[in-house]
Amino acid sequence: MKFVKIFGGFVIIIALASISYADNFKKFSTSYQTNHGKKWKIGYFQGGDYVNYQSYLSSTIRGLMDLGWIKETKIPEIKGNTRLFWEWLSTKAQSDYIEFLSDAYYSCDWDKSTRKKVANRLISRLADDDNNIDLMIAMGTWAGKDLSNNLHHVNTIIMSTSDPVESGIIKSIQDSGFDHIHARIDPLRYERQIMIFNDMVKFKTLGMAYEDSIAGRSYAAVDAIETVAAQKGFKIARCFTQSDISDQELMNRSVIKCFSELIPKVDAIYVTVQGGVNSTTIPTLVKMTQENRIPTFSQFGSTEVQQGFLMSMSRKNGFRSAGRYFAALVAQIFNGAKPRELNQVFEEEQNLALNLKTAELIGFYLYADIIAAADEIYRDIKEPE
C-alpha cells in the first residue's frame, strides 16, 4: 500500500509492462541453440565508458547464464571499463552457443571526430556480405544513433538510452522503424521522478544543468521535465554544460560552474546524467547544494544519494531485471525473432532512496510516512570511490 500511496499509478504501469513483456515469451522461444551448428557471434559498440554501461552488460551476461546460453561462472567486477570486461568475455566466458568477438569491440572514447571514423568503419564491416557478426549490442545514445539506420541490417539491441524516441533512435515507443533494431524504453520514467520530487519538495523553480544538444537534452529528459512543469506549474532554470567530449576536466568545470549559477535562482535541482557528474565532482556539488540548503534529486539513482544528494529512485534488484530482459531479447532473436517484433517497453520497478543526513544538513523535514515508504535510507554521506 505504501508504494501506491507515495507513487500514485506507478504500480499499475508496472503491471501493464509485465504483461506486455510476458507476451514476448509466448511468441518466441528463449531456448539455447546454435546457428546451424556454429556459434552466434556478438559485437559491441559504445560512445565511451559510462558507469551504467558495464552494469547493463554484465547483468545481460548473468541473464544469459540463467537461460543456459553461457556456462555459469563468476562474473568479474571490472568497474567503468567495458573494454576490459569485453576482453574477459571474449577469452573466459564459456558457451557452446555464442561467442563475443575479440575484434568486434568498438568505442569512440567520447571523441566526436573519432566517433565518425569508428561508426563508419563498423558500419562498413556490418554491411559487408562476409561480415561474421550476428548481433550488435549498441550501448548508449551515440551508439544507438549511429547504428539505427538502413546502412546495415545486422540485428542490434540498443541499451542504456534515456529517451530513444526523443533522441531519434527509434520511430516511436511501439515501433523502432527498422526490422533489425530494438531499443528498450521506459516512456514515463522521468515524469514519475519529477512528479515525486515536486510532490515532496513543492519547489517553484527547478534547476537543471545539461548539454544543449540533441543527445544532451535526451540524457537529461528535458522534454519529460518540461511536460511535468506545464502540468505542475513550476519554472525551469537552465544552465548549459559540456558533456559528450573527450576533455574530462572541461566537463567537470562546466557542471560546477552551472551549479554555482543555478543555486541563487532555484529552490531545487534535478541532477541530470552527464559526463561531468562523477566521482570527482559529486563531493563538490553535494557541498555546494548542502551549504545553500538546496534539495536535490539524482536522475542517475541511489548511488548518488548515498554520496550526498537528497533523493532518487533506486532499482529494486539493481540491474538484474533489466539484464534478464535483455538476455531474453538476445535469446529470442537467435530463435528467429526480428528485433522490431519484440516489445520495447520495459519498466523496471523502482523505489524511493533518501539520504537522512543530507535532509538534516539542508533543513528539509521528512515526514514519517515518507521515510516509511523509502526502500533505501542512508544516514551518512559516503565519499565516491
Which residues have C-beta within 8 Å of that of residue 151, sequence separation ≥ 6? 123, 126, 127
Cell numbers describing residue 278: 562523477
The pLDDT value given to residue 318: 67
The pLDDT value given to residue 150: 95
62-66, 200-204, 259-263, 368-372: the lowest-pLDDT one:
368-372
pLDDT tens readout for residues 83-101: 999 999 999 999 999 999 9
The pLDDT value given to residue 7: 40
Classify residue 355 as exposed, middle or buried by CB count within 10 Å of its CB (0-12, 13-18, 19+): buried
257 CB neighbour count, 10 Å cutoff: 14
pTM of the model: 0.76
CA distance 134 to 43: 8
Task: Report the amino acid identity of residue 46.
Answer: Q
Q: Which CA distances in Å does 236 have to 158, 224, 359?
A: 30, 12, 23
Q: Which of 210, 312, 225, 207 is nearest to 263 (CA)?
A: 207
Backbone angles phi, psi at 48, to 5 degrees: 170, 175
CA distance 36 to 38: 6
Judge whether residue 26 has pLDDT over 70: no
Report the pLDDT averaged over residues 56-74.
Answer: 95
pLDDT tens readout for residues 43-58: 999 999 887 898 899 9
Phi-psi region of 99 (alpha: psi -120 to 50; beta: other; left: phi over 0): beta
Backbone angles phi, psi at 138, to 5 degrees: -105, 115
The pLDDT value given to residue 52: 85
Would you state the torsion angle of the CA atoms of residues 139, 274, 303, 315, taken in this order, to the nearest 10 degrees? -50
The pLDDT value given to residue 22: 45
CA distance 186 to 159: 12
pLDDT tens readout for residues 286-305: 999 999 999 999 999 899 99
Beta bridge partners of 284: none
Question: How many residues in the chain?
Answer: 385
The pLDDT value given to residue 375: 85
Half-sphere exposure of 167 (CA within 13 A, CB side): 27
- Alpha-helical (H) ranges within 164-221 are 189-201, 214-219
Start-to-end C-alpha separation, the chain? 36
